[in-house]
Structure 1
Amino acid sequence: MCNENFSVRSENSSLQGKLEGAGGIYIHIPFCKQACHYCDFHFSTSLKKKDDLVSALTRELELRKNEFKNTTVETIYFGGGTPSLLSNDELQVLIDSVYKNYKVAEHPEITLEANPDDLSSQRIKDFVNTPINRLSIGIQSFFEADLNLMNRAHNANEAKACLEAATKHFDNISLDLIYGIPGASNEQWMENIEIALGFNVPHISSYALTVEPKTALAAFIEKGTIEDVDDEQAHEQFHILKAKLEASGFVHYELSNFGKENYFSKNNSAYWQGKSYLGIGPSAHSFNGKQRGWNVRNNSKYIKAIQQNNLPIEIETLTLTDQYNEYIMTGLRTIWGVSLPKVEKDFGITFKNYLIEQSDVFINQHLLYIDIDDEHLRVTKEGQFLSDGIASELFKIN
């Protein structure tokens, strides 16, 4: 059917797993004004294919509707890339396509990732007249030196101005901050947090700066142009963040996410709680409990396949061990933890006993604990920053 280096599937060949209950739809918009030095997501700085891409996204939503035949869509999430590069009309076309082809909850969470340089006061006012009800704004830092190091498209004044305008019109706002930036002191990090809190947003996502292979940041560090990330300082800044936000009424409900009560991200929470989601667009990932799928990471190949009514998607069927490992990884990142009764019910007593045995060393190091009231395994305060590494040590190999 095709000699490309990815599997092309007909519209009748798709993920066939957990098809009932609630789920979410993620729509990947693969365009950016410029490349951030740390980013390894799939995107293009050319908008030449934007019209074709929007048409292809709309068509993929139609082609895959049977995957969610018995699923209610609770969340629609525009990620990227930079979704705020789309016009409101283009966003509305995609939202309309979801409503046309899927069963949508009465009050879904509809999130748009946006960069400050796209959020003029007028653009924010215009969003009020769309179904979008949550903004996730990529601030990253309020300091020019940090923004320049990361090659962000906005400046510090734009970051503050967009939040000033957004908070006048939107209640549900999340902002992103990055810690562990070379040259950024703990005092500067604290100031970043305090500036963010001054806007009274109800949700903050914060990530350690990670040096991904083949990024500009990795090349600059290798050449000595930029100093390497200091893991110890990143660890310190994580605990500064946690202490400051919890003291300000935020719940640290997932490793990188802090929310006020009733403002947890429904989209992200669904991922961590194992709900089904469809990933629409080039490089987007999907999951249904039994299978994982990912679209081709190439705009032209994606558009061409969809125009031919084919799905350019690779699908992996998860073994029982894979499903167990997935649950351990996602569960330990959250306040909900890993349910020992669920492990026994879904995977068997052998898996439960293995988990308890493997956890023992981390319990003795005060990095994990078992809550005897609800029989959940959770990370301690000391273990949170290390949760991904701990989880990997609890995986079963076969």
Structure 2
Amino acid sequence: MEVGHLYVHVPFCRTKCPYCDFYSTTGKVEPECYLNLLKEELKLKKLRVKPKTIYFGGGTPSLMPPSFFEHIISLFPEAEEITVEVNPDDVNHEYLKGLKSAGVNRISLGIQTFDDSLLKILKRRHTGTKGIKSIETAISIFDNVSIDLIFGIPGQDEKSMEKDLKTLMKFPLKHVSTYALTIYEKTPFHRLFKEKKYALPSEETFSKYYSLIVEKLSTGGFYQYEISNFSKLQFECKHNLAYWDMKNYLGIGPSAASLLANKYQKNVDNYFAYKNAISSGKVIYKEEVNLSREEVFKIKLAMGLRKTNGVNLKVEEEKVVRNSIEKSPFLQNLLNSRILILEKRKLKLNPEFLFVSSYLISRIGEEIIFPA
């Protein structure tokens, strides 16, 4: 089997952000040891990996030296889009030049906000000024720079949100990802919110912020191609599109997930367990599921409906959808209200309803019925 997309999880962090539920460890950073583990995992997987995209996520990939990325990138000369997530506090001219020389051509900066008081709540390592300087440095070296923003942070108001958007518009960024603050179980934020030390904004406020983001970014020359993602034309994140389009992808490193010919696998989410297993010549999975045809299609809908241009349906898939519509008053109501649109074998959500898409996508999936 040939795999066209590669995700590399870098599990090391200096400190753990209280809202983050991605696996990471604040233990000793081991670049050379970890590189060897990843290369060994690739051998153990016994797959033909010919990635068009490589994405280094974390954790904090920017704790690794440029040579770490160069070694992995050199294994895959066919890769076209190579992204590294970078913490603004790790940015300096020499480091980013090193990444570019290593073959990286896309940088994703975890800005989150430019407001110092909000950065303290999120326990980010950088300041607003450092965030701005990191963008200036990145765009002086890379043509393709993306930033992440979080909205709905406790204490954030509309004025602060507008200031963040106004600040980012000053730069020739190619991509912006915006995420509503989500409280995940087993994170420090979950405990703090449960104890009512902090409170999330109302749904109405979240919706207002989201509408503001869509409006400001669209007037700034970005187009929305997915619920949380905006880009200049032809600068969509091709790696993430592979996920949403249900392409085969391989994830390596602890907690990394893979989708391989309708099989979903997720590596063990513990660095030391991962290290011991790989060193012993085996891979340990936390999850390993063979997906049925129906499950694959429902996941395809759930992922594809996140995109503004929706899901392209095969002939048989369109029949399933149309038969389900005939039996579902809920789906009929969505279509009649133009909340859901089905035209020329393409199913998509009206962009005006993307903010409530999680609920809609879940309900749509429940209403899809396969013939016995």
Please, what TM-score do these two structures have when normalized by structure 2? 0.93
The match for 1:40 is: 21
- Does residue 271 of structure 1 match 2:243? yes
The match for 2:324 is: 354
**1:237 paired residue among 184, 209, 213:** 209
C-alpha deviation, 1:350, in angstroms: 3.7
The match for 2:155 is: 183
Distance (whole Å) between structure 2 residues aligned to residue 180 and residue 37 of structure 1: 15
**2:124 paired residue among 152, 173, 197:** 152
Comparing 127-136 with 50-59, greater Cα deviation is found at 50-59
C-alpha deviation, 1:55, in angstroms: 1.7
- Does residue 95 of structure 1 match 2:65? no
The residue type paired with residue 382 of structure 1 is E
C-alpha deviation, 1:49, in angstroms: 4.7
Question: CA RMSD, aligned part only?
Answer: 1.9
- Does residue 61 of structure 1 match 2:48? no
SS at match of 2:352: coil
The residue type paired with residue 74 of structure 1 is K
C-alpha deviation, 1:355, in angstroms: 5.0
**1:280 paired residue among 241, 252, 273:** 252
The match for 1:23 is: 4
C-alpha deviation, 1:220, in angstroms: 1.2
Mapping for residues 216-365 of structure 1, pairs under 5 Å: 216-313=188-285, 314-340=287-313, 342=314, 344-345=315-316, 347=317, 349-355=319-325, 357=328, 358-365=330-337
SS at match of 1:224: coil
- 1:243-272 CA deviation, whole Å, 9 max, x = no partner? 111111111001111011110101001111
Is contact 1:53–1:299 with CA below 8 Å preserved after alignment? no
C-alpha deviation, 1:48, in angstroms: 5.0
Structure having greater relative contact order (Cα 8 Å, sep ≥ 6): 1
The match for 1:6 is: none
Mapping for residues 104-119 of structure 1, pairs under 5 Å: 104-105=77-78, 108-119=80-91
- Does residue 378 of structure 1 match 2:356? no
- Does residue 78 of structure 1 match 2:48? no
Is contact 2:41–2:283 with CA below 8 Å preserved after alignment? yes
The match for 2:133 is: 161
C-alpha deviation, 1:369, in angstroms: 2.0
Residues 297 and 369 (structure 1 numbering): CA distance in 2 closer, same or farther, change over 3 Å?
Answer: same
Is contact 1:83–1:112 with CA below 8 Å preserved after alignment? yes
Is contact 2:53–2:80 with CA below 8 Å preserved after alignment? yes
- 1:2-39 CA deviation, whole Å, 9 max, x = no partner? xxxxxxxxxxxxxxxxx35x620000000111111111
Distance (whole Å) between structure 1 residues aligned to residue 245 and residue 207 of structure 2: 26
**Sequence identity of aligned pairs in percent?**
33
The residue type paired with residue 133 of structure 2 is A
SS at match of 2:269: coil
- Does residue 129 of structure 1 match 2:107? no
C-alpha deviation, 1:50, in angstroms: 4.6
The residue type paired with residue 175 of structure 2 is H
Is contact 1:211–1:217 with CA below 8 Å preserved after alignment? yes
C-alpha deviation, 1:108, in angstroms: 1.3
Residues 30 and 233 (structure 1 numbering): CA distance in 2 closer, same or farther, change over 3 Å?
Answer: same
Distance (whole Å) between structure 2 residues aligned to residue 232 and residue 36 of structure 1: 26
SS at match of 1:276: coil
Is contact 2:12–2:29 with CA below 8 Å preserved after alignment? no
Runs of at least 5 residues in structure 1 that lack an aligned partner in the other structure:
1-18
Distance (whole Å) between structure 2 residues aligned to residue 381 and residue 265 of structure 1: 19
Give the number of equivalent residue pairs: 365
Distance (whole Å) between structure 1 residues aligned to residue 36 and residue 248 of structure 2: 24
Distance (whole Å) between structure 1 residues aligned to residue 53 and residue 256 of structure 2: 16
Distance (whole Å) between structure 1 residues aligned to residue 35 and residue 345 of structure 2: 47
C-alpha deviation, 1:52, in angstroms: 2.8
Residues 48 and 137 (structure 1 numbering): CA distance in 2 closer, same or farther, change over 3 Å?
Answer: closer
Distance (whole Å) between structure 2 residues aligned to residue 114 and residue 210 of structure 1: 21
Runs of at least 5 residues in structure 2 that lack an aligned partner in the other structure:
none
Distance (whole Å) between structure 2 residues aligned to residue 349 and residue 258 of structure 1: 32
Is contact 2:19–2:122 with CA below 8 Å preserved after alignment? yes
C-alpha deviation, 1:325, in angstroms: 1.0
Please, what TM-score do these two structures have when normalized by structure 1? 0.87
The residue type paired with residue 92 of structure 2 is S
Distance (whole Å) between structure 2 residues aligned to residue 131 and residue 246 of structure 1: 31
